[in-house]
Amino acid sequence: MNLPPKQIGESLIAAVRNEFPRITKLRAEVIFDRDRLNAMAVDVSAERTQREREIESATEESVSEFITCVGCSAFAPDHVCILTPERPPQCGRAYEFIKTGALYGYDDMTNIHHRALHSGINSFGTCAKGDLLDPAAGEWSGANAAAARLTGGRITRVQLHSLDEAPHTGCGCFQLIMFKTDQPKPGIGVMERGYKGQAPDGRTWQDLHYALGGKQAAGLAGGAWEYLRSPKFLAAHGGWKSVVWVSPKVSAMGRLVDGAVRQDGV
């Protein structure tokens, strides 16, 4: 059955408005002319390339605000994800996806909120950056204020790239855990979710997960695979130079990123 172009356009507009209710002005144009489409393809491709470059070059300093997510609050009420171009979501979701939800009202986790804290709000939000309090650790006054507001005052400081004083809280969905250790020498270890072995200090994924999940824990922080590629990865500790042990899958990724990571250290 062939749908009239008008009906196709109306369906597209309805679908976008359903997912992003904050978008008030929409226009759909249905084009069947191949020559016109081919002529437009060059401009569309150029615009997409430019947008990709903007996303790739974005930094914490260059963006105007940070993104927040409290989608895990049902089981982690003391956790709020502070998301930046250089600190992607711990769960592995795309930063751009959650940013879009924050800006345009999309929320696929409303029904699992911790009702006492976040009833009636979008899981995805924005927060002012505020002042940069610690460049190496990645501590911003606006991020601290957002964490305090969204956790009912239980978390008041978040350092995005440090495991020392106030590391990022852990949700429980994190793809990786970064942890301070004394084995095989003092430094930082990185373990991937599901690893069945032990770190040199004897800790397993279950040990680390229990210590971090749903809370802020000194010496521990969750992360996503993409964080391993971040220029600010563990910046307060010197980045990859501080890593003394990684589990096997992290080792493979680390070689791609740093060129020097081994399972038994760096």
Model pLDDT for residues 212-226, shown as the tens digit of each residue: 999 999 999 999 999
CA angle, residues 143, 223, 240, in degrees to nearest 5:
105
Domain residue ranges in the chain:
65-257
pLDDT, residue 110, reads 60
pLDDT, residue 109, reads 66
* Alpha carbon distance 37, 194 (integer Å): 47
Give the global pTM. Answer: 0.82
HEC string of 159-195? ECCCCCCCECCECCCCCEEEEEECCCCCEEEEEECCC
pLDDT, residue 207, reads 98
CATH of domain 65-257: 3.40.970.20
Residues of the chain with pLDDT under 70: 1, 108-117, 119, 254-266
pLDDT, residue 86, reads 97
| Cβ–Cβ under 8 Å, residues 214 and 90 | no
Who's near 99: CB < 8 A, 6+ residues apart?
67, 83, 124
pLDDT, residue 255, reads 58
Amino acid letter, residue 224:
A
pLDDT, residue 263, reads 43
First-residue to last-residue Cα distance in the chain: 62
